[in-house]
Amino acid sequence: MKKILILIFLVLSSCAARKVNIDKIDAIVKTDSTSVTKQETIATQDNHVSIITNTNEVEICPVFDTVPMVVNGITYKNAKLRYKKTKKVLVDTTKIKVAEKVLIKVKVKKDTSVKAFKKDIDKKANYTIYFWWLLILLLIALGIYSYKRINRTLF
């Protein structure tokens, strides 16, 4: 009966308790962005310049020496009068256009990859091995006790 109880006790007792903790972290961040900036600048300069020039030209030339001539209260003898009136108009209507186009492209790329694997094993001490040693000692003691008992009955 004692042998059966010891055998049941040994079978039901465990070797050790083991606790496993696993942490897994997978973080993947991807950022792709493109920024396009268009800028157009148009500058226009209009010139409206007009220059008017009036010219009066009087030419007095002598023709005969004997005939006197009076112009604006001045007496001229034997002269030929030539009067020329001119008007010059200079118009400047120039247009200056300056166009500037700017294209700015900005690309942002961000890749982040984090992989973490953590495994913790918590193994408690195994004290049941001492029961096996105790069982071996008990068996040796039982063997010695039986040997002495058998040897006493033979003599």
- Render each residue's pLDDT in the chain as its tens digit; 155 residues: 777 777 666 655 655 566 777 888 888 888 888 888 888 888 888 888 888 999 988 777 777 767 777 777 878 777 777 888 999 988 888 888 888 888 888 888 888 888 888 888 777 766 766 777 888 889 999 999 888 888 877 65
Q: What is the pLDDT of residue 35?
A: 82
Angle at 84 between CA 82 and CA 85, to 5 degrees: 155
Q: b/e per residue, 21-35, with b = 16+ CB within 10 A?
A: eeeeeeeeeeeeeee
Q: What is the pLDDT of residue 75?
A: 80
- The reported pTM is 0.31
DSSP 8-state assignment for residue 64 = -
3 state SS of 127: coil
With a CB cutoff of 8 Å and minimum separation 6, the contacts of 10 are 131, 132, 135
The β-bridge partners of 72 are none
Closest CA to 135 of 1, 34, 43, 2: 2
Q: What is the pLDDT of residue 141?
A: 93
